[in-house]
Amino acid sequence: MAQLGPIRLGKGCFYIKRLSDIDSALLSEQIARAYTSRVDPMG
């Protein structure tokens, strides 16, 4: 998470003050990983 940039973590959230401070490629990767781990494969 340190590579992502200056963030605060909540229970299931990233708190970001400025998007320009965040590595957008890593953020996209984290979002995709979270989405695929939560999607129900049976629909």
pLDDT in tens, 10-22: 777 778 888 888 8
pLDDT band at 40 (very low <50, low <70, confident <90, very high): low
Question: What residues make up the domain containing 15?
Answer: 2-38
Q: What would the two tokens of residue 32 be?
A: 């995709």
End-to-end CA separation in angstroms for the chain: 30
**Would you call 13 helix, strand, or coil by DSSP?**
coil
Whether 19 maps to a domain, the answer reads: yes
Domain count, the chain: 1
pTM over 0.75: no
Whether 15 maps to a domain, the answer reads: yes
